[in-house]
Amino acid sequence: MTLASPTDARTANAAGLQPSGAAPVRPGKIGIMLVNLGTPDGTDFKPMWRYLREFLSDPRVIELNKAIWYPILYGLVLTTRPKKSGANYARIWNREMNESPLRTFTRAQGQKLATALADLPDVVVDWAMRYGNPSTASVVQRLVEQGCERILTFPLYPQYSATTTATANDQLFRALMKIRHAPAIRSVPPYYDEPVYIEALARSIEKHIATLDFAPEVVITSYHGIPKPYSDKGDPYQSHCLETTRLLRERLGWDENKLITTFQSRFGAQEWLQPYTDVTVEKLAKDGVRSIAIVNPGFSVDCIETLDEIGREAAETFHHAGGKNFAHIPCLNDSAEGMAVVEALVRRELSGWV
């Protein structure tokens, strides 16, 4: 028995050889969906409350039993944190476009990827957020309405964690559950050790350091942390981060004292992955280190955790402890280096589809 290919099926349909009453077979398009973590729609209390509620209600992000966590979330957290977080977002807000930099950069990535893939006429590029807008469900629906029978989703997290990559894919499949004729799905795997990614990071670091009027004695690779129990249960995130730094150190030709790893953004009372970025920055200054730079390899684009937590808070911590020169190295964003990573991985994962 010989199975007909999609091309054969389309030919048969055109020749009138399909069974009577069968739906016409049309060549389907392929959707590319870039997915980032998310962003509030504004800096006021209500949009911050909505965003934080969605984010902190995700059971992969907060693994506590709901009976324990929800009274805390709806009691203390959502009554106090929206105002504080809103003030932080206000400092970095893109006033011209009235949105967070994360949304601005992710949109730019989508637009530039669409241009780069112009040689693939049946490919449609779009972008979505796991939390906030544009929602994953709305973008999936938009791609389906444009005739996409296959979707390649690209969670923009170089290092895998259940708190990021997995929850982005969870949300995608929740959206598919509501679609009767669901498209086929592929997901770009974590790319923490991909040569194109390591090369892009290295070039970005080298280019930025060349613009400084000082030479950093220490460069810190600061990654978003996760609670240590998550790692102990088997989340590979820590090992992925350490491998990224090792490969980056190897590419730059630096030793373990020049390029170090830390973890930032801890939340709550439990222990998170260590060493902590803020503690390390303070200790370096007190130990006599006068010049440092921090890069965030775990973030595909600049956001609140890089621009404010590192660009402002870490800088203040370093200076108050006696440090002199501080630099934050931007994320890859939609730079030529960053887009080379996205395009290379997308083209590879499209193999067999185009």
What residue ranges define each of the domains in the chain, with the CATH number in brackets? 29-190+336-349 (3.40.50.1400), 195-329 (3.40.50.1400)
- Please tell me the predicted confidence (pLDDT) of residue 107: 98
Is 305 marked within a binding site? yes
Across the chain, what does the average pLDDT equal? 93
Secondary structure letter of residue 267 according to DSSP: -
pTM (two decimals): 0.91
Task: Give mean pLDDT, residues 58-84.
Answer: 96
Residue 172 and residue 53 in contact, taking contact as beta carbons nearer than 8 Å: no
Task: Please classify residue 318 by burial: count the beta carbons closer than 10 Å to its beta carbon, then call 0-12 exposed, 13-18 middle and 19+ buried.
Answer: buried
- Identify the three-state secondary structure at position 181: coil
Residue 287 pLDDT exceeds 70? yes
Average pLDDT over residues 2-22: 44
Beta carbons within 8 Å of 276's beta carbon, 6+ residues apart: 225, 262, 263, 264, 266
Q: Which position has the token pair 């102990």? A: 232
pLDDT at 147 over 80: yes
**Whether the predicted pLDDT of 4 surpasses 60:** no
- Helix, strand, or coil (residue 307): helix
Whether 317 contacts 352, CB under 8 Å: no
pLDDT band at 6 (very low <50, low <70, confident <90, very high): very low
Question: Nearest to residue 291, comparing CAs of 262, 265, 315?
Answer: 315
- Of the candidates 207, 211, 222, 184, the residue with the CA atom closest to the CA atom of residue 30: 184
Least confident segment among 17-26, 82-91, 186-195: 17-26
pLDDT surpasses 90 at 16 = no
Give the separation between CA 92 and CA 83, rounded to whole angstroms.
15
- For residues 313-339, give the mean pLDDT: 98
- Looking at the chain, list the stretches that DSSP marks H as alpha helix, in order from N- to C-terminal side: 6-14, 45-56, 66-72, 78-92, 101-116, 136-145, 167-176, 195-211, 228-232, 237-252, 277-286, 315-320, 336-349
**Does position 288 have pLDDT exceeding 60, yes or no?**
yes
Task: Find how far residue 190's CA is from the centre of its chain.
Answer: 10
pLDDT for res 26? 55
> Does residue 41 carry a pLDDT above 60?
yes
CA 191 – CA 197 distance, rounded (Å): 7
User: Would the pLDDT of 212 be above 50?
Assistant: yes
Question: Tokens 């964690």 identify what position?
Answer: 161
Specify the pLDDT at position 269.
Answer: 86
What's the rounded Cα separation, in Å, for the pair 233 and 3?
45
Query: In the prediction, which pLDDT does 268 show?
Result: 85
In the numeric block, which tokens belong to residue 14?
A: 């055109």
- Helix/strand/coil for 153: strand
Query: Would the annotation count 224 as a binding residue?
Result: yes
pLDDT at 10: 42
Which of 309, 338, 302, 315 lies closest to 39, judged by CA?
Answer: 302
What is the band of 27 on the pLDDT scale with cuts at 50, 70, 90? low
25 pLDDT higher than 50: no
**pLDDT digit string, tens, across residues 220-277:** 999 999 999 999 999 999 999 999 999 999 999 999 999 999 999 998 889 999 999 9
Q: 72: Cβ–Cβ under 8 A, 6 or more apart, which residues?
A: none
C-alpha triplet 148, 188, 273: angle, nearest 5°: 140
